[in-house]
Homo-oligomer: A and B are copies of this chain.
Amino acid sequence: MAKTNKFFDEDEEDGNMGHNSGDVGGIAGKRLLSIIERIERLEEEKKGLSDDIKDIYTEAKGTGFDAKTIKRIIKDRKKDKEKLEEEESLYELYKSALGML
């Protein structure tokens, strides 16, 4: 097997376990489950926020605004912010190159 993986590639201390049983269902399984559940929790929160945003657009449309144009404005504002950050990072880079950090 080329790829390392959590279950089989580490040295096995326990010589008594059956072939390839490893940590299956054991500690690594618990860690894996923990990772998965943390991610799932965060994704649910993300989904909640997406729904909130969608609600705002729906409401805005209901009062006569055009959602597509609003999205475009938001994109513009984002771009402006990024441009400023880009300038900042270039500034930091130059300072770094000059040993001013």
Q: Which residues of A contact B (CB under 8 A)?
A: 1-10, 23-26, 28-29, 31-33, 35-36, 38-40, 42-43, 45-46, 49-50, 52-53, 56-57, 59-60, 63-66, 68-70, 72-74, 76-77, 86-87, 89-91, 93-100
Contact = CB atoms under 8 A, between A and B. Distances in A.
A90 to B, nearest CB: 5
Contact of A60 (B35, B40, B66, B93): B35
A3 B63 contact: no
Contacts of A87: 68-69, 72
B74 A98 contact: no
A2 to B, nearest CB: 7
